[in-house]
Chains A and B, each alone.
Chain A
């Protein structure tokens, strides 16, 4: 009797969620549904396909006009490079700010925190002009270089490093371990959760970028996947199914990171960032 009431209470509580759950999920389910719908049914305004039609996915991957595999490769190269780059530059800087003493430490740290307040739009024009003056338009360098460090990453790792006991550093030094080795073989392995949070967050953000790749790429050789899907519409506004298949393909890596690294991702987000 008691358990029955408990189950009922649970069901009641959960059912309160249904309307909003539906609103959040429907855009994705609808996109998925359109992507596997036979084209004729899209134009008959069906909501659920009568049969499974994978031709849009096959088309996206095999039709050479769409360059989809290339876009995916580009996005992976850029996102992985930015992720690794930030892990390295932020680790190094955070190490200096938490373990070392030097002149100007406070001022430099405040300067780096202040950069968080400058919105991307206040720098994007001048950055575009710099990249174009260097002849780097349409290249991996253009996509990667401006994002190789971040104040948020330095801040996140510093917070973590500050939890280490100072004695650990002193003991390592007495044993003749220099700072570089101390960071690489002691601090970094012990900071896996923080590095994971930074990595998941940065990879996802770079994968999801739109404005900067739109500005600095002109050909399919370097375009990222987000630009790729938005161009499917310009190439052929009639193939709505193909467009939606493109969206699903792009979302799969993002959602995988979300599902498998949810905790790290949320820790990264909480470290203070605004989605751009």
Chain B
């Protein structure tokens, strides 16, 4: 019935009226086509070619860029480094976000101030934070060494570099974790806590039996956000360690950057980008699938 009416109206529309919606969409679609869809297709295309140093496709190589990458030992190191980094940052961010949210969920004098401080790192640029941590981690005059009475080269020592960059990234992402987890906490119904209090449940039992199950959709969503974000970290790697020492912090994104913009191997870089895209896509799809199943409400 409604549909019939709509088509009757549509047939009376002038040509301009039928085209008008597309005019509204045109600017956004133009930008999407030129700077998102085309380059995405182009990256996939380049990944099958040997390219010159200007990024022009020269020889069709089918899967050779990919097989070369998989045969290269440094790719597997880079992948391992990336996964370790992602694991540390995603879980570290979640834990800090959990603690800060739980500390500020009840109202008391100063809780708004504490909340504002916990959220603040969202506003700080990764480059600015990296420079600040460059000073903190400075081998001779940095805060961390002064406080510990040590003289460790936190970013130049292969044993410490990845932990240093991960710790700095947890600091940087603690704000977004706090904001989302706090919002999740506030959505848990109060009457659950009230009835638990009547039953005589203490703080930790309420945390375990009400807060955690109620928060699980938020935590699940947040850990995916953390994982995707961590996979894409670049500024702190470039500014603190340049992927080194050796390959100690050579995460995939930095590997892509080095291949494309230091060695001008655009084909290899494109293939690595495709691999990164597939990993991130896989995680996103997993999120959609698991969200339906394993999350307690």
Residues of A within 8 A of B (CB): 7, 9-11, 13-14, 16-17, 20-21, 23-28, 30-31, 34, 42-43, 45, 47, 88-90, 92-93, 95-96, 100-102, 105, 108, 112, 115, 117-130, 132, 145-146, 148-149, 151, 154, 179, 204, 207-211, 214-215, 226-227, 229-230, 233, 240, 243-244, 246-247, 250-251, 254-255, 257-259, 262, 265-266, 269-270, 274-276
Measured between beta carbons, the chain B residues less than 8 angstroms from A146 are: 31, 35
Q: How far is the CA of A207 from the CA of B124 in the complex (A)?
A: 10
A125 contacts B43, C-beta separation under 8 Å: yes
Candidates A17, A31, A88, A179; contact of B103 at CB < 8 Å: A17
Q: How far is the CA of A42 from the CA of B121 in the complex (A)?
A: 25
Q: How far is the CA of A208 from the CA of B131 in the complex (A)?
A: 13
Residues of B within 8 A of A (CB): 6, 10, 18, 20-22, 24-25, 27-29, 31-32, 34-40, 42-43, 46, 54-55, 96, 99-100, 103-104, 106, 108-111, 114, 116-136, 138, 141, 143, 146, 171-174, 176, 179-180, 183, 225, 228-229, 231-232, 234-235, 238-239, 253, 256-257, 260-261, 266, 269-270, 273-274, 276-277, 280-281, 284
Candidates A43, A126, A254; contact of B46 at CB < 8 Å: A126
Name the prevailing secondary structure of the B interface residues.
helix
Candidates A14, A123, A275; contact of B39 at CB < 8 Å: A123
Which residue on A lies nearest to B233, using beta carbons?
Answer: A276
Measured between beta carbons, the chain B residues less than 8 angstroms from A244 are: 131-132, 135
B176 contacts A269, C-beta separation under 8 Å: yes
Candidates B25, B38, B109, B133; contact of A14 at CB < 8 Å: B109
A125 contacts B234, C-beta separation under 8 Å: no
Candidates A11, A20, A230; contact of B130 at CB < 8 Å: A230
B277 contacts A122, C-beta separation under 8 Å: yes
A265 contacts B28, C-beta separation under 8 Å: no
Residue pairs across A and B with Cβ atoms less than 8 A apart, 18 shown, are A16-B103, A20-B103, A24-B171, A27-B136, A93-B27, A115-B32, A121-B277, A122-B273, A128-B55, A210-B234, A211-B234, A215-B261, A226-B127, A230-B239, A255-B120, A262-B119, A275-B172, A275-B229
B141 contacts A21, C-beta separation under 8 Å: no
Which residue on A lies nearest to B234, using beta carbons?
Answer: A211
